[in-house]
Amino acid sequence: MAKTQDLLLIVNSTDPYNQYASYVVAFMAKKLGNVPKVTIFYGPKGVPMIKKGELAKLGINDDIKNLLASQFDGLEPTDLPDNLEQMARFVKDQLGVAIVSCGTFHVIDGFASAVDDASNIEDFIVPVKLPQAWAALDAADKVLYY
């Protein structure tokens, strides 16, 4: 089996478990799998989570930090962020994970005036147009859905 070079994680849900899972898998892909290109893509049913402040509402308590850290050599619970917004910023800034969302659905959901309007979304998430979304799907050699 070929090694994954381009992983696309499609988050098409507002379910907290799906949010957590997508960021943990992105972390593992970069740190354990050495996958060169990892993208988290928020699809139509996931875009409500990219509004400012939504990911910060999903906390990572001490019990979860202990559970996660116990599974990775060299990772301490204190190394982990307090919420998913901080985790998203870490995987983007430190690991190079791209985080994008379908701007078309920002407009349809009513929190954007145009596809490239990023005024109501987190500053680390890039709104993309439909051709860019297709290009990401077409280029990925592995696609996972959450």
Q: In degrees to the nearest 10, what's the CA dihedral of 32, 28, 141, 91?
A: -120
> Once rounded to an integer, what is the mean pLDDT over residues 90-103?
96
User: What pLDDT is recorded for position 92?
Assistant: 97
Count the alpha carbons within 13 Å of 17 in the hemisphere toward its beta carbon: 0
pLDDT digits (tens, 9 = 90+) for 30-71: 999 999 999 999 999 999 999 999 999 999 999 999 999 999
The pLDDT tens digits of the residues spanning 122-132 come to 999 999 999 99
Per residue in 6-22, pLDDT tens?
999 999 999 999 999 99
Which of 66, 65, 18, 48 minimizes the C-alpha distance to 109? 48
Which pLDDT does position 11 carry in this prediction? 98
Structural domains present in the chain: 6-140 (3.40.1260.10)
**Binning pLDDT at 50, 70 and 90, where does residue 1 land?**
low
The values of phi and psi at residue 131, to 5°, are: -60, -35
The predicted structure's pLDDT at residue 2: 74
